[in-house]
Amino acid sequence: MATLVWLHGGACNGNTQSFLNAEEPTIVDLVTDFGIEILYHHSCIPLMGEQAKETLQKILAAGGPDIFVFEGSVIQGPKGTGRYDIFLDRPMKDWVADFAASATFTVAIGDCACWGGIPATKPNPTDSIGLQYLKGAKGGFLGSEYRSKAGLPVINIPGCPAHPDWVTQILVAVATGRGADVALDDLQRPQTFFKTFTQTGCTRVQYFEWKEPVEEFGQGTRKGCLFYEQGCRGPLTHSPCNRILWNRQSSKTRAGMPCIGCTEPQFPHNDLEVGTVFKTQKVFGVIPKEVPEGTDALSYSVHAAVARAASPKWAKEDMFVI
Ligand code: SF4
Ligand code: SF4
């Protein structure tokens, strides 16, 4: 049996909505098959007001939960008081500090909890911050030296929102005693989900190879790759969105919507250039400003020009894309 407390800071509740839709495993499976006892979750446990406050206080007095999950940014404003986000008579940031200090494992769910997310985007009026990062800079609310009782840093499961199965599968690993074995990448994300690029498994990848673009947004059944005109960040983003499909059915890129890079700390990207999210940014109107990791813009552009010139007839024709 592993106890779990889930708190919610500055966010839209999207990660809870995602969590409620988990399929492999479901939330019910977490409880019945994997022995997770959810002591507090604002949408799953019917506790409010004084009852909720007493419950949380008792959990802390008893030494804290096995798993502390936090969704949303930690709101520090105004002027470091945290009073923009009061929860059960205290700034939420104080609850976060107490639970993080007492939990065996601490898990950040979604971009806001991991990196500050949209609330922490400039000018960041609420002084929002992630648990152990502010955007790509390590530190965050808990500080870079923070370790949970198990000796681990915060386990970051980013996304806007995170895919439900990324969440429940990591919770199972932690609850069944394999939490210390979860290999993390440089940004403390589980490698099992975040080692590969979003592009892995994309049904448009053959067009990426031949540099054939899709010209219009939302063309789910049309040929072409979304990287060249539509701003797709699939080759620049670490996620398994085309390996572990959404709703077990599809992904953004399969449906004709560019990946907007929501699992990376810099999300939302291009936030200073209004209107550029769905438009590939280019140098001299030709060379993509950002190119896949491990190459440079000039080499990539030469390669792209040669590939496009050599692309076979089928790559230029309309084909059905799942
Ligand atoms: S649509 Fe995006 S993810 Fe798919 S192949 Fe093109 S760049 Fe990669
Ligand atoms: S496809 Fe990209 S933007 Fe969409 S959920 Fe996956 S990582 Fe996020």
Q: Which ligand is nearest to the CA of 254?
A: 1
Each residue of 17-76: pLDDT tens digit?
A: 999 999 999 999 999 999 999 999 999 999 999 999 999 999 999 999 999 999 999 999
Residue range 118-128: mean pLDDT, rounded: 95
**Which amino acid is located at 224 in the chain?**
G
- Angle, CA 158 vertex, CA 39 and CA 139 arms, to 5°: 90
Residues 179 and 53 grouped into a single domain: yes
Residues 179 and 305 grouped into a single domain: no
Q: Which ligand is nearest to the CA of 251?
A: 2
Residue 164 has pLDDT above 90, yes or no: yes
Close Cβ partners of 52 (under 8 Å, ≥ 6 residues apart): 40, 88
The structure's pTM equals 0.94
Residue where one domain finishes, among candidates 193, 219, 239? 193
Residues 189 and 226 grouped into a single domain: no
Ligand 2 contacts CB of residue 239 (under 6 A): yes
Residue where one domain finishes, among candidates 193, 220, 239? 193
Q: Which residues line ligand 1 (CB under 6 A)?
A: 198-199, 202, 204-205, 208, 225-227, 232, 234-235, 253, 259
Sign of the CA dihedral with 289 first, then 218, 194, and 119 last: positive
CA-CA distance, 118 to 42, in Å (whole number)? 21
Q: Are strands 86-87 and 74-75 parallel, antiparallel or unpaired?
A: unpaired
Residue to substitute in 238, 250, 259 for testing ligand 2 pocket (most ligand atoms within 8 angstroms of CB)? 259
Q: Which ligand is nearest to the CA of 110?
A: 2
- Which residue's alpha carbon is at the smallest distance from atom 1 of ligand 2? 259
Q: How many structural domains is the chain composed of?
A: 2
Each residue of 74-120: pLDDT tens digit?
A: 999 999 999 999 999 999 999 999 999 999 999 999 999 999 999 99
- The CATH number of residue 117's host domain is 3.40.50.700
Query: What are residue 184's DSSP bridge partners?
Result: 190
Residues 79 and 166 grouped into a single domain: yes
Q: What is the chain's mean pLDDT, rounded?
A: 93
Ligand 2 contacts CB of residue 237 (under 6 A): yes
Asked whether 125 and 85 are in contact (CB, 8 A), the reply is no
Q: Are strands 36-40 and 74-75 parallel, antiparallel or unpaired?
A: unpaired
Residue where one domain finishes, among candidates 141, 162, 193? 193
Each residue of 220-245: pLDDT tens digit?
A: 655 799 999 899 999 999 999 999 99
Query: What are residue 4's DSSP bridge partners?
Result: 38, 67
Asked whether 111 and 73 are in contact (CB, 8 A), the reply is no
